[in-house]
């Protein structure tokens, strides 16, 4: 920054320090500012020689602070000590964002230069668990972490996608239906599926933000600029603090903490262009589509002379005239646009050694590539910190977030891909062509109406954390938090919409309204005792005891209204009445949880370490006979590189780890085991309103518990040129809560019981390497790989019967997941096919006894593979040269057995009245003797799930490519700022797969182009 502004900032900082008592007497010494010329002086600068004004310079002697001062606007500092007094003492120099530097003083030397280096990983030496942080060198749990620098190298979409890129074993279920819908939170899995519990987001890990358990939506809206580190805890040893809720793993997110020093202002802006990616679609042109209709027999044989045949021929030639005239409408492009997305983050941080603060605000706006879809979110966060880790530390964090989203109200993208290209969307006079071929409605008409789908949410959270060191051995830590979430949605469909065409006029148009309020109170307290003993303090022991309490609840309301007089009306109060037979909707749920925790760990000579933990927890969600359940873990580790016999081997790290333990799952609705009633106006007897039980009372319902085994090692070779980790695991989940059929005389068809068991085994590998390093830059690479095998050990008779009923009725074109013992939860079952008979274009099936037949029987289905990949992971490369850097990251999936939905619905299962994939025209059977992949082109019957549409997928996705440049200090000084960095990125830039299918059925996928600018003032 310019000298003029440096002076003002410096004076302001001096004033703040004076107000905070920085220059008065404190617990750590006397501090006086001397105006006269002193004996010892120096300069503080960064590695490039850039002056650092406001650095804190502390003179330590005999274990006490003798004097403390600040570097001035030129980075210069002066101490009152003489060179003779400084012998045997040292200076500590600290500055925001830089590693603390110690300079040992020597007698006779008067001037010193302190060159500070940026501190990029302040949390690098500890494992952040969300409760009590643990030293990384003796940590026995399985975990993966993402630093702030890793986050900055990714194209900024959302944190969930970054987890997929950086964490081995963390999967996002590929969603070819929702594509890049900005309002769709993806389904995620960590180390396999572990429950039969019904509902959305069944396998979502537990998310913890700054010590507070939050919903995945909060993490989805969180900007990367706010995050300091993300830690994913995987095994029982790592998740022991969360025993009852850790079956699906724990994701701990730590936001940027306040840092001492002068006031610093950071601003980051991102501008994105979101471009539709339609590369998965290969539809027929107008001429090809008309010829397909002709071959499919829609227009008859062209030899008939009755009225029907003549009308068909007229229709054909009318369309042929349009094709000849050049009509070839690209319907897919009409609802799409190039989205312009932008985000902004502004942060202020600073303070003294005793009092530090961080104030951050952010705003993000995403414009969806389908018109009318969008998402806006904002965050305001305050973080105050008092004291230090050695005595008393008090932290207060509060944040407020909001989000608003608009979804597509006029149909899905597949409505456009199904339209015929020889139809024009507009009439010659420019008005909409309301009715298209085959009496199909023009979706552009629906798009022109004022229908909307709007959702909003706001969230407030406050956390108070206190850490008090009573003595060098004893400390107490406690935390309490409040989380309040309010959300709502309103859907309006215009009375002019085609969905009401058969309704009477007074019941056209509708409103659907709902709102939700949720709260969560949490509190915990821990007492920690640590001690060193033995010769040279070789033995270290740590004991922790504590407890936690949690209360949460939700309250929802909603209703449906019909009868809207005008397309312009946009408020539900103007509807004429409630929907016929409708009643107010909603519900209330409350749950309580109480837990107690004990753990002990032991470390010998920093080589051998062991840990044991025990948690006893109770929840109101379970039966009265089984409210409480025990959880615990045992783990051990060995720092092999510390052994004497390893000194001649170029190993910087070799740590072996092993663990076993129980964790639980409480991701259920509150009243599955309790007796509850619903009152209704239909239940009236003797002028009294009656009630009906909602479910069968089960006081014996138990907790789902997962027994987790994990073994692994971390290593570093050749001066950290190659580093990584390897883990193998075996997780068995028992007491699964499943639905059981009940005898009719009980009055309930089904109830919840504990009967079921699932096993997940797998391996995870992560490697990082420095390919080249030099004075001006280097090249680094990383690769990760994960494999998971899922097996159902036991299920209930009810699920078996449901599978059988579904198969007997089976008339679906797509295979359904069937839960069977010994199989995976994602096993793919289809009929085995011998191909298409060249003589007649029919499919030939192979029965279980090897017999060939044209008929299929559900009992002949066989497992052909698993939809989960055999191996998945990421590949990345980073390159730096002076101030220029570039990075690229890729995601790969190998060996998944998938069913090609496009073949089942747009090729062989296509409707000749709708547009279809090119293969319907070029690869279906047409004449006797044709050796074709697909059935007779004129056959419209559905094809049952067949092995002909099954294929192994080997896929590679280009996730992110970024080029960034840090401007020279001279340029920054011209702008009167400290630091300027700009970057250009592209996301979702590549997709290669062995399976050719349509992707983005209801909402297309996109490609992202991003420009980012970071300014530090």
The CA distances from residue 629 to 327, 595, 663, 705, 764, in Å, are: 69, 10, 10, 9, 30
Please state the separation of Cα 33 from the chain's center in Å. Answer: 51
777: region left, alpha or beta (phi > 0 left; psi from -120 to 50 alpha): left
Q: Check residue 746 and give its pLDDT.
A: 63
Residue 301 has pLDDT above 80, yes or no: no
Residue 370, class by beta-carbon neighbours within 10 Å (0-12 exposed, 13-18 middle, 19+ buried)?
buried
Tens-digit pLDDT profile for residues 5-60: 444 444 444 444 443 333 333 333 333 333 344 467 888 887 767 777 777 888 88
DSSP state letters, 317-367: HHHHHHHHTT----GGGTTB--EEEEEEEEEEEEE-SSEEEEEEEEEEEEE
Q: How far apart are CA 80 and CA 59, in angstroms?
A: 10
Residue 151 has pLDDT above 90, yes or no: no
Bridge partners, residue 556, by sequence:
516, 587
Reduced to 3 states (helix: H, G, I; strand: E, B; else coil), residue 296 is: coil
Q: How far apart are CA 255 and CA 98, in angstroms?
A: 18
Tens-digit pLDDT profile for residues 491-548: 999 999 988 888 888 889 999 999 999 999 999 999 999 888 888 778 889 999 999 9
Between 125 and 383, name the one with better pLDDT.
383
Between 929 and 39, name the one with better pLDDT.
929
645: confidence class by pLDDT, cuts 50, 70, 90: confident
Tens-digit pLDDT profile for residues 57-82: 888 877 677 777 778 767 888 877 76
| Cβ–Cβ < 8 Å for 218, 338 | no
Tokens 């003595």 belong to 471
The CA distances from residue 647 to 294, 357, 605, in Å, are: 80, 45, 16
**Residue 5: HSE in the Cβ half-sphere, 13 Å Cα cutoff:** 10
998: confidence class by pLDDT, cuts 50, 70, 90: very high
How crowded is residue 350: how many other Cβ atoms within 10 Å of its Cβ?
21
Q: How far apart are CA 848 and CA 263, in angstroms?
A: 75
How crowded is residue 437: how many other Cβ atoms within 10 Å of its Cβ?
18
Closest alpha carbon to 326 in 357, 287, 275: 287
DSSP 413: T
Residue 867 has pLDDT above 70, yes or no: yes
Tokens 């001492």 belong to 260
Q: Which two tokens stand for residue 622?
A: 């379970």
Bridge partners, residue 227, by sequence:
255
Q: Which two tokens stand for residue 273?
A: 């262009």
| 498-535 per-residue burial string, b: 16 or more CB within 10 A, e: under 16 | eebeeeeeebbbbbbbbebebebebebebebeeeeeee
Residue 32, class by beta-carbon neighbours within 10 Å (0-12 exposed, 13-18 middle, 19+ buried)?
exposed
State the chain's maximal CA–CA distance in angstroms. 119
Q: Check residue 263 and give its pLDDT.
A: 84
Mean pLDDT of 259-273: 86
Helix extents (H) in 93-227 = 148-152, 159-166, 216-221
- Predicted model pTM: 0.81
Tell me what the pLDDT averaged over the chain comes to.
Answer: 84
DSSP state letters, 433-460: --B-GGG-B-HHHHHHS--EEEEEEEEE
State how beta strands 651-665 and 704-717 pair: antiparallel
| 809-823 per-residue burial string, b: 16 or more CB within 10 A, e: under 16 | eeeebebeebbeeeb
Reduced to 3 states (helix: H, G, I; strand: E, B; else coil), residue 311 is: helix
Q: How far apart are CA 700 and CA 625, in angstroms?
A: 5
């Amino acid at each position: 920054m310019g000298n003029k502004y440096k002076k003002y900032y410096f004076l302001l900082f001096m004033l703040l320090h004076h107000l905070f008592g920085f220059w008065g007497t404190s617990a750590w010494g006397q501090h006086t500012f001397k105006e006269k010329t002193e004996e010892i002086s120096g300069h503080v600068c960064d590695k490039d020689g850039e002056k650092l004004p406001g650095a804190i310079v502390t003179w330590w002697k005999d274990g006490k602070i003798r004097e403390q001062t600040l570097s001035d606007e030129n980075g210069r500092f002066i101490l009152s000590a003489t060179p003779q007094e400084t012998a045997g003492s040292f200076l500590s120099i600290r500055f925001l964002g830089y590693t603390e530097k110690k300079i040992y003083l020597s007698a006779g030397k008067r001037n010193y230069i302190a060159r500070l280096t940026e501190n990029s990983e302040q949390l690098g030496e500890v494992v952040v668990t969300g409760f009590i942080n643990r030293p990384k060198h003796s940590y026995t749990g399985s975990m993966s972490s993402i630093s702030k620098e890793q986050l900055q190298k990714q194209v900024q979409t959302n944190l969930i996608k970054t987890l997929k890129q950086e964490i081995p074993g963390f999967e996002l279920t590929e969603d070819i239906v929702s594509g890049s819908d900005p309002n769709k939170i993806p389904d995620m899995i960590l180390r396999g599926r572990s429950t039969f519990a019904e509902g959305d987001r069944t396998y979502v890990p537990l998310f913890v933000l700054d010590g507070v358990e939050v919903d995945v939506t909060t993490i989805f809206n969180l900007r990367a600029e706010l995050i300091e580190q993300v830690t994913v805890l995987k095994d029982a040893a790592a998740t022991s603090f969360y025993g009852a809720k850790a079956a699906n793993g724990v994701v701990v997110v730590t936001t940027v903490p306040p840092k001492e020093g002068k006031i610093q202002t950071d601003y980051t802006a991102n501008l994105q262009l979101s471009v539709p990616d339609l590369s998965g679609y290969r539809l027929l042109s107008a001429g090809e589509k008309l010829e397909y209709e002709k071959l499919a027999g829609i227009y008859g044989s062209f030899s008939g002379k009755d009225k029907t045949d003549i009308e068909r021929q007229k229709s054909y030639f009318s369309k042929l005239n349009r094709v000849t005239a050049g009509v070839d409408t690209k319907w897919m492009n009409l609802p799409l646009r190039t989205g312009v997305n932008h985000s902004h983050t502004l942060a202020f941080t600073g303070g003294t050694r005793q009092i530090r603060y961080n104030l951050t605000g952010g705003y993000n706006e995403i414009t969806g590539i389908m018109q009318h879809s969008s998402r806006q979110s904002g965050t305001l966060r305050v973080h105050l910190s008092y004291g230090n880790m050695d005595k008393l530390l008090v932290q207060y964090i509060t944040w407020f977030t909001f989000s608003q989203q608009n979804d597509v109200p006029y149909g899905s993208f597949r409505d456009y891909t199904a339209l015929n290209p020889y139809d024009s969307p507009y009439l010659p006079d420019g008005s909409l062509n309301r009715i298209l071929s085959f009496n199909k409605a023009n979706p552009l008409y629906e798009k022109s109406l004022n229908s909307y789908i709007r959702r909003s949410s706001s969230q407030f959270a406050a956390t108070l954390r206190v850490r008090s060191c009573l003595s060098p051995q004893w400390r107490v830590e406690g935390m309490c938090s409040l989380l309040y979430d309010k959300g709502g949605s309103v859907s309006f469909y215009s009375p002019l919409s085609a969905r009401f065409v058969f309704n009477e006029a007074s019941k056209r148009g509708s409103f659907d309204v709902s709102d939700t309020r949720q709260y969560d109170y949490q509190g915990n307290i821990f007492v920690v005792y640590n001690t060193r003993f033995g010769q040279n303090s070789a033995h270290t022991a740590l004991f922790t005891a504590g407890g936690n309490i949690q209360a949460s609840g939700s309250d929802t309301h909603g209703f449906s209204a019909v009868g809207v007089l005008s397309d312009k009306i946009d408020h539900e109060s103007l509807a004429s009445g409630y929907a016929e037979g409708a009643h107010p909707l909603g519900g209330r749920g409350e749950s309580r949880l109480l837990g107690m925790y004990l753990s002990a760990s032991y470390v010998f000579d920093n080589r051998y370490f062991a840990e044991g933990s025990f948690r006893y927890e109770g929840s109101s969600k379970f039966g009265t006979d089984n409210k409480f359940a025990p959880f615990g873990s045992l783990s051990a580790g060995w720092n092999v590189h510390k052994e004497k016999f390893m000194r001649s081997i170029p190993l910087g790290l070799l740590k072996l780890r092993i663990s076993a333990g129980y964790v639980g799952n409480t991701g259920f609705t509150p009243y599955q085991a309790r007796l509850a009633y619903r009152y209704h106006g239909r239940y009236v007897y003797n002028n009294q309103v009656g009630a009906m039980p909602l479910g069968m009372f089960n006081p014996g319902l138990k907790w789902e518990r997962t027994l987790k085994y994990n073994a692994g090692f971390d290593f570093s070779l050749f001066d950290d040129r190659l580093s990584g980790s390897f883990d193998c695991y075996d997780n068995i989940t028992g007491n699964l809560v499943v639905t059981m059929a009940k005898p009719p005389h009980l009055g309930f068809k089904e109830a919840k019981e504990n009967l079921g068991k699932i096993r997940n085994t797998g391996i995870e590998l992560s490697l990082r390497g420095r390919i080249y390093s030099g004075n001006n830059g280097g090249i680094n690479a990383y690769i990760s790989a994960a494999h998971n095998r899922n097996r159902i050990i036991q299920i209930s008779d009810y699920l078996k019967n449901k599978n059988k009923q579904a198969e007997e009725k089976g008339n679906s074109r797509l295979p359904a997941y069937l839960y069977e013992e010994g199989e995976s939860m994602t096993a793919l079952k289809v009929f085995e096919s011998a191909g298409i008979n060249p003589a007649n274009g029919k499919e030939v099936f192979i029965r279980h006894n090897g017999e060939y037949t044209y008929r299929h029987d559900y009992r002949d289905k066989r497992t052909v593979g698993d939809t989960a990949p055999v191996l998945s992971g990421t590949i990345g490369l980073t390159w730096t040269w002076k101030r220029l850097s570039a990075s690229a990251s890729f995601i790969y999936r190998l060996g998944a057995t998938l069913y090609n939905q496009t073949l089942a619905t747009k090729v062989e299962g296509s409707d000749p009245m709708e547009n279809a994939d090119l293969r319907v025209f070029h690869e279906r059977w047409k004449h006797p003797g044709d050796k074709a992949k697909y059935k007779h082109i004129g056959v419209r019957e559905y094809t049952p799930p067949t092995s002909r549409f099954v294929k192994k997928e080997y896929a590679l996705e280009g996730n992110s490519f970024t080029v960034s440049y840090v401007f020279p200090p001279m340029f920054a000084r011209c702008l009167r700022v400290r630091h300027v960095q700009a970057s250009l990125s592209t996301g979702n830039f590549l997709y290669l797969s062995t399976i050719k299918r349509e992707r983005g059925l209801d909402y297309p996928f996109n490609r992202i182009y991003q420009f980012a600018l970071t300014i530090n003032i």
